[in-house]
Amino acid sequence: MREFGYQRADDVSGAVALLAADPDARFLGGGTNLVDLMKTGVERPARLVDVRELPLDAVEETSDGGLRIGATVTNSDLAAHPEVRRRYPALTQAVLAGASGQLRNMATVGGNLLQRTRCGYFTDLSKPCNKRVPGSGCSAITGEHHNHAVLGASDHCVAVHPSDMGVALAAFDAVVGFETPDGPGELPLADFYLPVGDTPHRETALPAGALITGVTLPPAPVAARSRYRKVRERASYAFAIGSVAAALDVEDGVVREARLAFGAVASRPWRARAAEAVLTGAPADGDTFAAAADAELAAARPLPDNGYKVTLMRNLAVAVLTELAEETAR
């Protein structure tokens, strides 16, 4: 690893000022992704600004009945928080489905949202990768892509976003708060990740040098009846090959409200709005759930080796919705 400077930030404005003063600096959360990328030479920051001691480590009620989660809350603390477990159970399940206990103790909410793709070519400096070196090409399209995107990808990059937490946050309309030298700002998660297009190296709409300060979850009564299910290649810990966050409100056999998001199928957590439109107001039965999944997956453009994901996601979505309907019918 190359030499780099290290500084611990004590307050938010100081952290933002430190990064503004040094364009080669990076914020350090738990370091569970950034330090790995520094070891392989993918990331080469001149200085790390450690944000873990900033006063952003609380989960608090908002005045309208939602929750605000600080950016340095660890994954473990987020998953264990009683109000998260009670009001947004799919978020707890998603976080606990990610990584290992040790990693979750270190990893932070801000770092989780900004973790980089696990595409093997991204970390292999000997191979072309448009995300790592713009304009160099995409090795995955003609190479190993069995775990790559089937939705929203482009000819320039087919990598998936690896976050489990982000999928539940997408289903619940989370809003990301940040701080810049010009003041605070916020971005709905739906606008936070940029479409791939021909600029896969530009992953988010965050202004350069912005510090994520937290994530706000609006009140969503339907979220109390939610679930996250992840399919992975081994039981101990592994990134998803497909996942679903779902919430369902059923009354008299009819879906009153539905939330659905897919993970590991696109460059960002994928809110399944076409499926939600089919679900809302329809009978809560297997035919509706299958039609909803099909409506969402009609846009899928699989590559030769990842077409299985379309079937996997259809089955996963139908299974999770069926379970929720059985549990929540009243």
Ligand X SMILES: Cc1cc2nc3c(=O)[nH]c(=O)nc-3n(C[C@H](O)[C@H](O)[C@H](O)COP(=O)(O)OP(=O)(O)OC[C@H]3O[C@@H](n4cnc5c(N)ncnc54)[C@H](O)[C@@H]3O)c2cc1C
302 binds, among ligand X, ligand SF4, none (CB under 5 to 8 A by kind): none
Structure tokens at 190: 């739906």
Q: Which residues contact 290 (CB under 8 A, 6 or more apart)?
A: 314, 318
Q: Is beta strand 175-180 parallel, antiparallel or unpaired with respect to 211-217? A: antiparallel
Q: Which string of b and e fits 67-96 if b means at least 16 CB within 10 Å?
A: bbbbbbbbbbbbbebeebeebbbbbbbbbb
Element spanning 326, H or E: helix 308-328
Q: Where are the alpha helices (DSSP H) in 143-271?
A: 165-171, 189-192
143 within 8 A of 110, measured Cβ to Cβ: no
Residue from 67, 99, 151, 324 in contact with ligand X (CB under 6 A): 99
- Binding residues among 107-126 for ligand X as defined by CB under 6 A: 107-108, 110-112, 114-115
Q: Which is nearer to ligand X, 160 or 292 (CB)?
A: 160
Q: Is 108 among the residues that bind ligand SF4 (CB under 6 A)? A: no
Q: Which is nearer to ligand X, 66 or 110 (CB)?
A: 110
State the Cα angle at 298 between 292 and 300, rounded to 5°.
120
Q: Is 323 exposed, middle or buried (0-12, 13-18, 19+ CB in 10 A)?
A: middle
Q: What x/- string results for residues 209 through 248 when contact with ligand X is judged by CB under 6 A?
A: --xx------------------------x-x---------
263 binds, among ligand SF4, ligand X, none (CB under 5 to 8 A by kind): none
- Binding residues among 23-82 for ligand X as defined by CB under 6 A: 26-34, 51, 71
Whole-number minimum distance, CB 144 to ligand SF4, in Å?
9
28 binds, among ligand X, ligand SF4, none (CB under 5 to 8 A by kind): ligand X
Residue from 92, 117, 147, 163 in contact with ligand X (CB under 6 A): 163
Q: Is 231 exposed, middle or buried (0-12, 13-18, 19+ CB in 10 A)?
A: middle
Task: Using the rule CB under 6 A, give the single segment among 162-170, 245-253, 268-276, 301-309 that binds ligand X.
Answer: 162-170
Q: What x/- string results for residues 189 through 228 when contact with ligand SF4 is judged by CB under 6 A?
A: -----------x----------------------------
For residues 319 and 317, what is the distance between their CA atoms, to the nearest angstrom? 5
Q: Which is nearer to ligand X, 111 or 302 (CB)?
A: 111
Q: Is 161 among the residues that bind ligand SF4 (CB under 6 A)? A: no
Whole-number minimum distance, CB 199 to ligand SF4, in Å?
11
Q: Which amino acid is at 175?
A: V
C-alpha dihedral sign at 163, 167, 169, 174: positive
Q: Is 84 among the residues that bind ligand SF4 (CB under 6 A)? A: no
Residue 76 CA to its chain's centroid (Å): 16
Q: Which is nearer to ligand X, 107 or 272 (CB)?
A: 107
Strand partners, 249: 257
Residue from 72, 92, 112, 117 in contact with ligand SF4 (CB under 6 A): 117
Interface ranges with ligand SF4 (CB under 6 A): 117, 119, 121-122, 129-131, 138-140, 148, 157-159, 200
Interface ranges with ligand X (CB under 6 A): 26-34, 51, 71, 98-99, 103, 106-108, 110-112, 114-115, 162-165, 211-212, 237, 239
